[in-house]
Amino acid sequence: MTTARFPRTWRQTAVLVPLARALRLYYRPRVHGLEAVPADRPVIYVAKHPRTWLYLETILLGLVSFWDSGRVPFRPMEKRGTSLHRLPALGWVRRHVGTIEATEEAAVAALEGGESVLVFPGGARELYGPPDALDWKGRRGYARIAARAGVPVVPIAIAGADQQHPLRLPLGRGHSAWLPPVPLPVPLDYWFGAPLEPPATKDAAEVGAFADAVAAAVEALVARASAARRKPWSLT
């Protein structure tokens, strides 16, 4: 299986990157620990899924982690064909940010092609769950991918991402109304943890232990980031 290289097309350079630069003004991001992330080899970024539906903090993550730094670009992994993909503007964005299908085969192909991947193991559980709380029970695909591809895993925490919409109104059948509908301009702090090397073997027990270690590292980083988070209207 092959994956096309990250799409630095006119849609990226003329639309999405200017959008990301505007988001930098809106969210006033600070970056912590990026210097520890390898700049010349692919990695697997793993993070808690934000409690929001607009994808803005993820677009900004691309700007601060690789577009402006020269690091290896990441390909977000996502489920295809959701209701969000059918929305006029958001659907267009999701089709052109360089996502790949959320399968182990697609992730390994991207990594072997020299690109990083971004994984939100909690998915909808964390999208609709309590703020700043991991729910990765039974989700270990990221560890199997790391072992297969032989690449490190980098924990990420985005402080403030879960505070963009203070209220969520369940509408049934998996739909929700997020309030306010436009995310609040909360300060975002991007924290990158130390890279974790996967086991050299694909033994299920060792891969499982590695998955647990990664989850614990992300949970600790989320707690640290949350404790250090700036006040919503801070100017610093």
pLDDT tens-digit readout, 158-169: 999 999 999 989
**For the chain, where are the E strands, in sequence order?**
30-32, 44-47, 74-78, 100-101, 116-119, 153-159, 167-172, 175-179, 189-192
* Beta strand 116-119 pairing with 30-32: unpaired
- In this structure, of 95-109, 127-141, 172-186, the range with the lowest mean pLDDT score is 172-186
pLDDT tens-digit readout, 15-72: 999 999 999 999 999 999 999 999 999 999 999 999 988 889 999 999 999 998 889 9
Residue 153 has a pLDDT of 98
Predicted TM-score (pTM) of the model is 0.92
Across the range 78-82, mean pLDDT stands at 75
pLDDT above 60 for 5: yes
pLDDT above 70 for 236: no
pLDDT above 80 for 113: yes
Across the range 128-148, mean pLDDT stands at 95
Q: Which amino acid is located at 38 in the chain?
A: P
pLDDT confidence band for 140 (50 / 70 / 90): very high
For the purposes of burial, counting CB atoms within 10 Å of the CB of 197, is it exposed (0-12), middle (13-18) or buried (19 or more)? exposed
pLDDT above 70 for 105: yes
Across the range 186-197, mean pLDDT stands at 97
Give SS3 for 14.
Answer: helix
Residue 9 has a pLDDT of 82
Strand order in the sheet with 74-78: 30-32, 189-192, 153-159, 44-47, 116-119, 74-78, 100-101
pLDDT confidence band for 79 (50 / 70 / 90): confident
pLDDT above 80 for 184: yes
Please indicate whether residue 19 or residue 92 has the higher confidence score (pLDDT): 19
pLDDT confidence band for 84 (50 / 70 / 90): low
CATH class of 10-227: alpha beta
